[in-house]
Amino acid sequence: MSTTVAIIGRPNVGKSTLFNRLVGKRLALVDDAPGVTRDRREGDAKLGDLEFRIFDTAGLDDAADETLQGRMQAQTLAAIEDADVCLFLIDARAGVTPIDHHFADLVRKSQRPVILVANKCEGKVGTDALYEAFSLGLGEAVGLSAEHGEGMSDLFDALEPFVTPGDADTGEGDEAPAGRDKPLRIAIIGRPNAGKSTLINRMLGEDRLLTGPEAGITRDSISVDWQWQDLPVKLFDTAGLRRRARVINKVEKLSAADALRAVRFAEVVVLLLDANQPFEKQDLHLADLAAREGRALVLVINKWDLIGDKRSALADLKEKAERLLPQVRGVPMVTLSAATGKGLQRLMPAVMEVYEAWNRRVTTGELNRWLSEAIERHPPPAAKGRRIKLRYMTQAKSRPPTFIAFCSRAKELPDSYSRYLINSLREDFDIWGSPVRMQLRQGKNPYAKDRKARS
């Protein structure tokens, strides 16, 4: 098992900056505003030859349990319980505060090993805070600057007794049994308050992610490892995405960019729609985003337990999906309740169905036999009195399925005929719920040069 390290401390002391420094990537959102981080974020960290699992946590704050801040603190306390050692950060510029004393007492009661870290010690700044930190009763503080990378060798010395060199858990993260080199990556996206975090918690069977009635709780794109029928899966919870014109807050802009990055790295995108307000303009925009990024798509209608006439509502939803989302025609639709778990058993089979379609490959022989039949059923139109000839087709790649058709005067082939070919490919080769791309290429005429010379 890999050593697990939790970074804890009050808001705005630089926990996410240190997290990013140790994982070597800008995974966690960083901003001057306090309280940007709300959920536990995990990552694989490396410091010298020390390798370990690390948690970034929400800032500790004294708040009632039922409030958002109280629920954030509960997530941090859960990270402390799961950790083998904690890095307790204080702000060396601000010195030791009363709230630092309060939470130092809390950490001591957890009986976890604690390394006290005085962050923002650029140059000689914060020297006084290093002496003042002894009053917390957590031993000598390690002075460093997470932003500038100063003092990391001292942190290495402090962590070394707890982490064996090369102590990485190869059984977690990106290593996968069941014949896959990496876990299946699934991004859960949707408008704010659609129930994304609630859905992931229900899938995991634990309250891993912060939830509540407030819209926009999730800010970071949090990845969580999971197993489904021995298949390794990495679930990405994302911030709710609103129309760009409505996003004016800097932190929300960072959250939206993080969510879009999660879509680009995903293999399957699960778009969560509110059953009470399905297919809003933003829902259609998000579905189109997944299609443009070439991701397989599953539509999930959440809060289905609140719908009365389910049969009529489902028929209406299917009609709207076919009419409003032609670019992902035949996309599977799953109705469920993330709050109760009813209907959840249908989600992963739908995910695997579109994942297989997304990976579909068709042999060149099958493809050209199909092309002959498709042309016979519906010949290409004539352009300027001359019929366009489709000569040959091949599949360039999968993920998503991408085909190349060679024809005469490719630029003159109408879009409607390309759509006919794509829709026929979907039907005949069972490619539903995945974008299908087609490129038209025009073969060179070997006699064109001689014709120009004679003229």
Domains of the chain: 4-159 (3.40.50.300), 184-358 (3.40.50.300), 364-448 (3.30.300.20)
- 200-230 per-residue burial string, b: 16 or more CB within 10 A, e: under 16: bbbbeeeebbbbeeeeebbbbbbbbebebee
User: What pLDDT digit, counting tens, does each position of 363-393 carry?
Assistant: 999 999 999 999 999 988 877 767 788 888 9
Per DSSP, the three-state class of 315 is helix
Q: Could you tell me the pLDDT band of residue 240, with boundaries at 50, 70 and 90?
A: low
pTM: 0.70
CA-angle at 135, arms to 133 and 141, nearest 5°? 30
Q: Is the pLDDT of residue 175 over 50?
A: no
Phi, then psi, of 30 in degrees rounded to 5:
-130, 130
The three-state secondary structure class of 22 is: helix
pLDDT digit string, tens, across residues 15-44: 888 988 898 877 655 544 545 555 677 888
Q: What is the pLDDT of residue 216?
A: 54
Distance CA 150, CA 427 (A): 60
Phi, psi (5° rounding) for residue 352?
Answer: -65, -30
Q: Could you tell me which of 424, 433, 380, 376 has the C-alpha nearest to residue 403?
A: 424
